[in-house]
Amino acid sequence: MADQTRLFPEQDPGEGGAKGFDGSNSSGHRARLRKRLMTGGEDALADHEVIEYLLMVARPRIDTKPIARALIQRFGSLAGVLSADPQALSLHPNMGETSAAALRIVALAARRLARTAVREQPVLSNWQALLDYLHIDMAHLNVERVRVLYLNTQNMLILDHLVSEGTLDESPIYTREVIKKGMDVGAAAMILVHNHPSGSPKPSRADIQITQKIMEAARLMGMSVHDHIIVGREGHTSLKAQGLI
């Protein structure tokens, strides 16, 4: 029987056997990439190289540089790739579930680290940590997500509640549900949060009106609304800081 080329050889060649799509050996490049990662600072690797290295761990037999560059081009940035829909990642050319999972786990770890930082101190005295957490979790979503952060009397986070997730430009929020959940968990205050998939965090008239409506209802029930934060790829807007509430 004639010899046949196998997609995955029985003997794992390791780094020495990693091949590019053109048949070239990429072991030297991987070694240099690893050295820069281990000895350099946080900017030692370019965005596409971060993706490349993550995929390299998941797919040791192929050159992952072309895939990484294609992902950056498609999703726009490192954050865009790591926040992309899992199915979209899996179905991208030369990806699959294993590669998609290698990228998703990084985003998951980043969110958990950021969430831990928020929970460790009173939110109002740890504002930057809160903004970092919200940006990691929401800035690159393709649909609008509404959440309410419920705080106790010491302004410690007691519940990060996902209220709704909607379409490209709207997600419903109902005053009665927001207030009821606050009463159920014994909240003393809350922070409203939602994202703008368009990228701009500029508040709409509807954003301001619903905030004022919730603030009034919360006041009647002995709770306060500290702020309403709108998150977008271009940054964030605090309605309180803007004097809009």
Q: Which of 157, 100, 141, 156 is nearest to 231 (CA)?
A: 141
C-alpha–C-alpha distance, residues 128 and 135, integer Å: 10
Per-residue pLDDT at 170 exceeds 70: no
Query: Do 24 and 89 share a domain, yes or no?
Result: yes
Per-residue pLDDT at 71 exceeds 60: yes
Question: If DSSP codes are grouped into helix, strand and coil, which group holds residue 158?
Answer: strand
Query: Do 211 and 133 share a domain, yes or no?
Result: yes
C-alpha–C-alpha distance, residues 207 and 21, integer Å: 49
Whether 118 is in a domain gets the answer no
Question: Where residue 182 sits, what CATH number does that domain have?
Answer: 3.40.140.10
Question: What average pLDDT does range 154-175 have in this prediction?
Answer: 81
Whether 58 is in a domain gets the answer yes
> For the segment 34-43, what is each residue's pLDDT rounded down to a tens digit?
888 888 777 8
Phi, psi angle pair for 212, to nearest 5°: -65, -35
In this prediction, residue 115 has a pLDDT band, given cuts at 50, 70 and 90, of: confident
Whether 6 is in a domain gets the answer no
Number of domains in the chain: 2
Domain boundary among 63, 88, 110: 110
Whether 46 is in a domain gets the answer yes
User: Beta strand 224-232 with 189-195: parallel, antiparallel or unpaired?
Assistant: parallel
Query: Do 149 and 48 share a domain, yes or no?
Result: no
Per-residue pLDDT at 5 exceeds 90: no
Query: Do 63 and 84 share a domain, yes or no?
Result: yes
Query: Do 231 and 155 share a domain, yes or no?
Result: yes
Query: Do 150 and 209 share a domain, yes or no?
Result: yes
In this prediction, residue 3 has a pLDDT band, given cuts at 50, 70 and 90, of: very low
**HEC readout, 78-127:** HHHHHCCCHHHHHHCCCCCHHHHHHHHHHHHHHHHHHHHHHHCCCHHHCH
pLDDT at position 156 is 94
Cα of 233 vs its chain's centroid, Å = 11
Nearest 10 degrees: CA dihedral of 236, 241, 243, 245? 80
Query: Do 232 and 128 share a domain, yes or no?
Result: yes
Query: Do 229 and 134 share a domain, yes or no?
Result: yes
Query: Do 84 and 190 share a domain, yes or no?
Result: no
> What is the extent of the structural domain holding 45?
14-110
Where would I find the H helices in 160-220?
175-184, 205-220
